[in-house]
Chains A and B, each alone.
Chain A
């Protein structure tokens, strides 16, 4: 097996050319988001998926303008630039195929509950015994050690346990704590998994040895509390503070305008220019607002005065004026509005595909811009099992007759007719 053969199976070019990643993940971002980052960077990422029941019909092409089903759209957001091989890990033959892939792989990334891979006979110890260079990475809710290691986790429960929800919300006394709208509980773990994998690849060039990573989503949430941890552990209490910046900056946070919300982040050095821009130079001499301490002491009056002043225009007009004045403030955007920002097109942050099923579908771009790799487009996510034959043939050298026999016995599967984007278990 040469690196070139692996690299030829990558969907896009990039710095991780020739790195073979086997993905054993459900739908959740704690897995698929991490492997997608590796795929965006040029790794050959193969999703190992369960063969479907029967022979599902190919997904019909959609006329332009017709909506994709929500579940298929979900997989598009997390699986571009990957390949898919359907292998039944519960069958002895399927398991043997996977073991052969693990012998030549660089990374096996899973987000199953701890113990699941062991039950399949595919635990880290066995895989690393077969291939000492292998980097195994497991991402789970609570990690493989500790009293909660067997418990299931959801993004919302992880966000609660990690502390982030206790500092997120409206600040009104009886309102509930708020989770971040995006599933950072899962995504946070995926980021740390990718960093650990890449660091282990670096070491492997020196030592020749792989590694076994055990990433817990809860640990990632705790780490992201960052600079609040030392004060919190020495007695500082943190609560949601929607109208106060980290350093006590004020005015701060969301304010209603004539139409739409505008979000301010006015640190001391911008106060004078902000008062002027809002048409209230007299605030600079107002004893309630002169210093940041004054503004903090008169928070309600300040927020009322700022809200009244912001009624003069809508959020888009305030955006124009704040940018022109170089003062930190931002219109609160919806997601479609956010992708209309002028930088999005310049920076390839909204990317479409040329595929009959996916005409008009767009995904977020890769935020890592590399000078050696100008953006050259994304590959559409693979249909279920679309690359099974290529993976078995090109990577393992299994002849066609053998592949066919394995398919006949349902140890592996690929579609005969065309791409199948419906997957059995999509969130």
Chain B
């Protein structure tokens, strides 16, 4: 290892990643970023190398998925439906630490690579499965999508403008929370294996993940008699007022959360010192009782300047505020730039692709390197030589029979 290279926490951990779309790959990408050797197992045929694009070419949606969720991984194309392909896969399992999938329940069993089969090959292996509703029960085989999971979990009933129209979070949190729990489960199982020498199966259902994110609302609903009615966008969790999105002079929105300890300073910044002693607004209870009047005053005042100007003025006095940024604005705001969250990667043809960096920062250590995604099958030959020591003639024969797919590197 290069002396300047960081000692990545998961160096030496090999993950066979059978997952696709978002609910799996978001989690395995995090583990790859932490140093694990993540090998995507893709069905043949291999894809051609990533196409060269000119520097100004826009990055498509499909490319967004590839660059955001599949970097720091290699790809091996092997046909798991072929007995020899399955045997090859089980040979890899003997030399792997983790097998990670997001198939519907039953698929791994049909392929002959469910947890008992994996365990027979390697008792140390950790098998992590992410699915919509888990591996058993009446809904096990029902397909789950982020939007249906957000609806079923109750999260949409507490998200919206308060007029009854339920909103999903635009970010696919159903898929993402499942992936985050899966990554945690894998790491916890690795910790236990270090003590016991034994692997185990880890299972995460997307619906369970969403239910768990209700945290304090669950005992409030089941034990404190709280009913969660239409969302109230202009009132904070602790009853904070003024709160929520307000439109500024340029049509852009800022979000404020003026807890009592910030009230005076907030009034100062808005040049509205007269509100401080206004009997309608002195205490939090006063502000709640006269919320409509206060919201109108705040709306009128905030409409006199641009969102960026208010954000600057409020932050200068340490009052919590956030401009409702687009994703691009969010990546380019000074705090994000200072934390190097915008990472530019060189793509074939001279184009630059920007991705979000990892939020997991080890102070005093160099940042982990970022590897662009591999096209499907781009690393097949190298992996089979490196991990299984297969001779080149055998790889060529597997390729000729379509069991292994190998693209040009």
Contacts and interface: CB of A to CB of B under 8 A. Distances in A.
B185 interface: yes
Interface in A20-73: 29, 33, 37, 41, 67-70, 72-73
Contact of A229 (B142, B152, B327): B327
Contacts of B153: 333, 338
A143 B214 CA distance: 25
A245 interface: yes
Interface string B313-343: 0010010111111111111011110110110
* Interface footprint category on A: 35 or more
B220 A77 contact: yes
Contacts of A167: 170-171, 327
A347 B134 contact: yes
Contacts of A155: 237, 257
A360 B353 CA distance: 53
Contact of B173 (A180, A201, A261, A372): A180
A323 interface: yes
Contact of B255 (A75, A159, A211): A159
Contacts, number: 535
Given A163-B327, A342-B137, A369 B202 contact: yes
Given A161-B323, A225-B356, A372-B192, A338 B154 contact: yes
B339 to A, nearest CB: 5
Contact of B215 (A70, A202, A227, A364): A364
B142 A326 contact: yes
Nearest to B160: A178
Nearest to B193: A15
Contacts of B11: 203
Interface string A203-230: 1011100011111101111111111111
A284 B55 CA distance: 42
A254 B236 contact: no
Given A157-B320, A335-B221, A330 B211 contact: no
A201 B196 CA distance: 16
Interface in B192-251: 192, 194-195, 198, 200-205, 207-209, 211-226, 228, 231, 233, 236-238, 243-245, 247
A343 B202 contact: no
A218 B359 CA distance: 9
B310 interface: no
A347 to B, nearest CB: 6
B279 interface: no
B318 A339 contact: no
Contacts of A371: 115, 200-203
A157 B322 contact: yes
A33 B205 contact: no
A358 interface: yes
A363 B359 contact: no
Nearest to A381: B219
A225 B361 CA distance: 18
A162 B211 contact: no
Contact of A370 (B133, B188, B228): B188
Given A178-B161, A194-B184, A211-B363, 11 more contacts: A152-B262, A166-B170, A181-B155, A214-B361, A323-B142, A331-B151, A333-B157, A343-B138, A365-B208, A367-B205, A370-B202
A263 B156 contact: yes
A184 B177 CA distance: 10
Contacts of A265: 145-148
**5 tightest Cβ-Cβ pairs between the two chains A and B:** A167-B170, A181-B158, A361-B223, A146-B338, A77-B216
Interface string A249-275: 000111000000101110000000000
Interface string A61-104: 00000011110111111100000000000000000000000000
A223 B137 contact: no
B68 interface: yes
Which of A78, A145, A198, A346 gathers the greatest number of chain B CB atoms within 10 Å? A198
A224 B184 CA distance: 16
A331 B142 contact: no
A183 B10 CA distance: 30
Nearest to B115: A371
Contacts of B161: 169-170, 175-176, 178
A213 B160 contact: no
A373 to B, nearest CB: 8
